[in-house]
Chains A and B, each alone.
Chain A
Amino acid sequence: MTDTDKKDPKLSPTGNFSKQDAPPYEGSLQCMRCGFCLPTCPTFVLTGRERSSPRGRVALARAVAEEKLDFTEAVKEESFFCLDCRACTTACPSGVKAGEIMEICRDQAHQLKPGGHLSTGFRNFILQKMMPSPERMESAMLPSRLYQRLGIQWLVRHSQLLKLGPDWMAKAEGMMPKMDKPLRLQLPEITPAIGEKRGKVGFFLGCVMTLMYPEISRQTVRVLAHQGFEVVTPKQTKCCGAPHLTEGDRKTARDLALFNIDLFLDQDVEYIVTDCAGCGSALKEYEELLEGEADHHRLAQFRSKIRDISEFLAEVGLRTEALKEIKRSVTYHEPCHLCHAQGISQQPREVIRQIPGIELREMKESSWCCGSAATWGLKFTDESQQVLDRKLNNVKQTEADILVTGNPGCQLQLAWGVREAGMPQEVKHLIELLGEALPESDND
């Protein structure tokens, strides 16, 4: 898209969208309706309904821009029904990003059709007051709210649509892992490199990781140090903004992005590493989110430093000399926000294969969404139970000991699913596996 396109309202109409943050018309126009995205879209496969497919959603957005359709309840519904899994982006030959268009439509929904799935007051409270402040999040009941980012949020949105039973919330709580003390307060700002130093990296500690999976992120820092990197973990790090984008609050997301960019560019680090696929994909999208609102050069500089932990380790090369042998078989589930949103698919496998003793067994459809939050024994339709079942079935066939993934949302969903199905697999983040292979060290 060029700037000239953007400026000519006749060529790039916003039509029935609100002018503030309207989805770019070019994005919809680019769709050639080939349908290649259809078989990869969980909500299309679930419903067989064109308007719940990427092609259909893009067509709706286009119709709104062309004033063939108002921004109706149904458009709003589709924008929230979309899982934002980005499988369609990977499948699309034409470079269309249906998931992203729907994300922007959620912001439109709040502008044009406020209220609904979450009451406005509640939503503003969570997104604008609580999440931007690490202190407030830690002192509140926020973990359970945060879980929204991971999928309960998807359920909340659809609790009516899907006719959930009254006790779904209680069951959802049952999925939550045991909560430890938030990691943010425990991690030193600077963790020195161990052995021959290879560089200095920033660690972006995500909200969900610090609150719900502190042990995983502790391992991430430990692995980075063992790999010869000095790790800087700024205490003031704020939420990456992904929950805000998902909920359609682009304004707060921008504020957070500006803050984090300044914070990390001040640190003089070569890379900014994250162990949460959701954070990684949001951080990599700051450039687009802030286009025209921040210094282009700084945005590009920030973007060029962001790495998922697996991407980073594959790129700099894993030092394997000291690694202990782990004689287990594993299978790998690809988080949507890693493989589809960031295009990172081979790197995690490369890292897994380098751990001595590990046998990697590929599952079928490894990049198919785990349904992060769809399904389970809540009063659900048969079809939607199939999203998780489909995944678990593929896991089962590998007969692997461990199910490895790289995103907290997937981990919650899969750990719960495996437990409910009575399957023997342990569910682990890639970095936990690597952490186990590390030798104990005095510096840890």
Chain B
Amino acid sequence: MISKKALQLLIDKLGAQNVASEKEDLLVLGYDSTPGLHHLPDVVVYPTTTEGVQAAMEIAYEENMPITPRGSGTGLSGGSVPVQGGMVICLNRMNKILEIDEENLTATVEAGVVTLDLFNAVAEKGLFYPPDPGSQKISTLAGNVMEDAGGLRGLKYGVTRDYVMALKVVLPDGTILETGGKSVKDVAGYSLKDVMIGSEGTLGIITEITVSLIPPPQDKRTFLAYFDDVRVAGATVSEIIAAKIIPSTMEIMDKATINCVEDYVKIGLPREMAALLLIEVDGHPAVVAEEAEALERILQAKAAEVQSARDTEHAAELAAARRTALSALARVSPTTLLEDATVPRSRLAETFAEIERLTEKYQLKVGTFGHAGDGNLHPTVLCDERDADEMKRAHAFYDELYEQVLAWGGTVSGEHGIGVAKKDFLALQIGPGGVDVMRRIKNAFDPKGLLNPGKIIDGKQQ
């Protein structure tokens, strides 16, 4: 419960329209996209300036109230769920693009700017912001930074981290930290910016972000290849990379997913195929032509069927299957568990085989798609949260899968983060020493343990 005095203080500082404490408001700010997680906060604030964030943090600090930052709540590991109640700070009303600097090729935005809005704004000036998580239509840039979000273009263009140049952050006690800048090089002291990226809102609250931009690729070629054996698809991915071609996109879909898509949109996908790869190469026209030729040669030798896009329209048609994958899967059942096991590329085929084995073992419905080039797969369990037994089997499925993924030198999260969902796995992956260093970092930023408690690691209060 928040005290009357604190509530009034929040209203005075932030304005009544930016503070909510009615049950109906609290109810809808206690979830993100992680299935089965829900906790009520005690109060929700929508600051519109850095000073507003500061004021809210100071009040929470005084009240010893846990604080959970939130962007658009599309996270898949429970990062923005207020597991210990307290105050949710929603950044989605801080949504101004402050500057697009064409000389330095940077953009500076407020924390709550939506990823796709930034993409469009810089595109209008002939520039390119590559990170494109599947949720880009609504995810916020601060949410992207805090989860170090990746996307379809990750293989060639990298992930969010690769574009962050500077951050403005409010620390739990209200101190403002500015780290990084527009200089391309910067080795002054510890890179606090890099500590912040991927910290899932446990170290500070971002209010401003400066990202770097690049010129967009001038040309693009799209291919779709079907395989009658997943292992051959996996081997093809490795072969393409070994041939020193780095596609901008290299997406994979398994048989179950192909069939779900075909059930849903009926576009004539071959249901008997074991996997498909959607591959795009982009860049300078001369390079693209050369890479496309080499790529096609590899695909023709390996795949059961290869289609090459004639024009942009046809390219969109080829990409349609991958684009509808999530929609097709999500419709099959009430509950959709979307995970992100990631392995070294060379283990791709084995991972598919393991998923198949576990699907059989636990008698589940699973569709797998993902960023093949990154070894980043989304084995998606289609289930019904009302069926306790099925949910138990689903969790056992992931437990066993992640154990194997770790044994292969993979990671329990390629892009969705640890949050509350994967704390135990993290400990397995980085060991007690790793957890301890993380805890010390956490305590240095947040000695009272108020900021997003219960996420990534179980913090120890000093």
Query: Interface on A for B, CB 8 Å cutoff?
Result: 11, 26, 29-30, 32-36, 38-39, 48-51, 53, 55-56, 59-60, 63, 68-69, 72, 74-75, 78, 93-95
Q: With A30-B334, A95-B331 in contact, is A59–B33 under 8 Å at CB? A: no
Q: Is the CB of B33 within 8 A of A32?
A: yes
B327 to A, closest residue via Cβ:
A93
10 tightest A-B contacts by CB? A93-B327, A56-B28, A94-B330, A74-B24, A29-B334, A50-B28, A35-B138, A95-B331, A35-B74, A33-B33
**A349 CB, nearest partner CB in chain B, Å:** 15
| Residues of B contacting A33 in the complex (Cβ-Cβ under 8 angstroms) | 31-33, 73
Bound: A59/B24 CA distance, A = 9
**B337 CB, nearest partner CB in chain A, Å:** 9
**B341 CB, nearest partner CB in chain A, Å:** 19
Q: 16 pairs across A/B with beta carbons < 8 Å?
A: A33-B33, A35-B33, A35-B72, A35-B74, A48-B46, A49-B20, A51-B27, A53-B28, A56-B28, A59-B28, A60-B24, A60-B27, A74-B22, A78-B24, A93-B331, A94-B331
Query: Interface on B for A, CB 8 Å cutoff?
Result: 20, 22-25, 27-29, 31-33, 35, 46, 72-74, 90, 92-93, 114, 135, 137-139, 326-327, 330-331, 334-336, 385-386
Bound: A98/B117 CA distance, A = 24
Q: Of the candidates A51, A59, A72, A93, which one forms a contact with B31 in the assembled complex, judged by CB atoms under 8 Å apart? A: A59
Q: Is the CB of B336 within 8 A of A69?
A: no
Bound: A48/B90 CA distance, A = 10
A68 to B, closest residue via Cβ:
B27
Q: With A30-B334, A48-B93, A95-B331 in contact, is A36–B27 under 8 Å at CB? A: no
Bound: A353/B327 CA distance, A = 31
| Residues of A contacting B33 in the complex (Cβ-Cβ under 8 angstroms) | 32-35
Q: Is the CB of B336 within 8 A of A94?
A: yes
| Residues of B contacting A26 in the complex (Cβ-Cβ under 8 angstroms) | 334
Bound: A225/B270 CA distance, A = 43
Q: Is the CB of B138 within 8 A of A38?
A: yes
Which residue of B22, B28, B31 has the most chain A CB atoms within 10 A of its CB atom? Answer: B28
Bound: A74/B33 CA distance, A = 23
B32 to A, closest residue via Cβ:
A33
Bound: A130/B241 CA distance, A = 71
Q: Is the CB of B330 within 8 A of A36?
A: no
| Residues of A contacting B334 in the complex (Cβ-Cβ under 8 angstroms) | 26, 29-30
| Residues of B contacting A29 in the complex (Cβ-Cβ under 8 angstroms) | 334-335, 385-386
| Residues of B contacting A68 in the complex (Cβ-Cβ under 8 angstroms) | 27
Q: Is the CB of B138 within 8 A of A36?
A: yes
Taking A51-B27, A74-B22 as known contacts, 12 extra A-B pairs with beta carbons closer than 8 A to each other, sorted by chain A number, are: A29-B385, A32-B33, A32-B330, A35-B135, A35-B138, A39-B137, A50-B73, A56-B28, A72-B23, A72-B24, A93-B331, A94-B330
Q: Is the CB of B29 within 8 A of A50?
A: yes
| Residues of B contacting A50 in the complex (Cβ-Cβ under 8 angstroms) | 25, 28-29, 73, 90
Bound: A49/B114 CA distance, A = 15
| Residues of B contacting A95 in the complex (Cβ-Cβ under 8 angstroms) | 330-331
Bound: A26/B386 CA distance, A = 11
A10 to B, closest residue via Cβ:
B386
Q: With A59-B27, A75-B24 in contact, is A39–B138 under 8 Å at CB? A: yes
Q: Is the CB of A55 within 8 A of B28?
A: yes
**B316 CB, nearest partner CB in chain A, Å:** 14
Q: Is the CB of A60 within 8 A of B46?
A: no
| Residues of A contacting B22 in the complex (Cβ-Cβ under 8 angstroms) | 74
| Residues of B contacting A35 in the complex (Cβ-Cβ under 8 angstroms) | 33, 72-74, 135, 138-139
| Residues of B contacting A78 in the complex (Cβ-Cβ under 8 angstroms) | 24
| Residues of A contacting B27 in the complex (Cβ-Cβ under 8 angstroms) | 51, 59-60, 63, 68-69
Q: With A34-B33, A48-B92 in contact, is A39–B114 under 8 Å at CB? A: yes
B326 to A, closest residue via Cβ:
A93
| Residues of A contacting B73 in the complex (Cβ-Cβ under 8 angstroms) | 33, 35, 50
B72 to A, closest residue via Cβ:
A35
Bound: A26/B20 CA distance, A = 29
| Residues of A contacting B138 in the complex (Cβ-Cβ under 8 angstroms) | 35-36, 38-39
**A150 CB, nearest partner CB in chain B, Å:** 29
| Residues of A contacting B114 in the complex (Cβ-Cβ under 8 angstroms) | 39
Q: Is the CB of B135 within 8 A of A34?
A: yes
Q: With A11-B386, A33-B33, A48-B92 in contact, is A38–B28 under 8 Å at CB? A: no
Bound: A35/B92 CA distance, A = 13
Bound: A94/B33 CA distance, A = 13
Q: Is the CB of B385 within 8 A of A94?
A: no
| Residues of B contacting A69 in the complex (Cβ-Cβ under 8 angstroms) | 23-24, 27
Bound: A32/B73 CA distance, A = 11
Bound: A63/B29 CA distance, A = 13
Q: Is the CB of B25 within 8 A of A34?
A: no
**A30 CB, nearest partner CB in chain B, Å:** 5
**A431 CB, nearest partner CB in chain B, Å:** 29
Bound: A56/B135 CA distance, A = 17
| Residues of B contacting A34 in the complex (Cβ-Cβ under 8 angstroms) | 33, 74, 135, 330
| Residues of B contacting A39 in the complex (Cβ-Cβ under 8 angstroms) | 114, 137-138
Q: Is the CB of B135 within 8 A of A51?
A: no
A77 to B, closest residue via Cβ:
B24
**B353 CB, nearest partner CB in chain A, Å:** 28
Q: Is the CB of B385 within 8 A of A51?
A: no
**B69 CB, nearest partner CB in chain A, Å:** 15
| Residues of B contacting A36 in the complex (Cβ-Cβ under 8 angstroms) | 135, 137-138
**A62 CB, nearest partner CB in chain B, Å:** 9
**A161 CB, nearest partner CB in chain B, Å:** 14
Bound: A51/B24 CA distance, A = 7
| Residues of B contacting A53 in the complex (Cβ-Cβ under 8 angstroms) | 28
**B111 CB, nearest partner CB in chain A, Å:** 14
A31 to B, closest residue via Cβ:
B334
Bound: A81/B335 CA distance, A = 28
Bound: A93/B135 CA distance, A = 11
A93 to B, closest residue via Cβ:
B327
Q: With A11-B386, A93-B327, A94-B331 in contact, is A51–B28 under 8 Å at CB? A: yes
| Residues of A contacting B32 in the complex (Cβ-Cβ under 8 angstroms) | 33
Which residue of B24, B74, B90 has the most chain A CB atoms within 10 A of its CB atom? Answer: B24
Bound: A60/B22 CA distance, A = 13
Which residue of A29, A33, A95 has the most chain B CB atoms within 10 A of its CB atom? Answer: A33
Q: Is the CB of B31 within 8 A of A94?
A: no
| Residues of B contacting A72 in the complex (Cβ-Cβ under 8 angstroms) | 23-24
**B194 CB, nearest partner CB in chain A, Å:** 28
Which residue of A26, A39, A50, A53 has the most chain B CB atoms within 10 A of its CB atom? Answer: A50
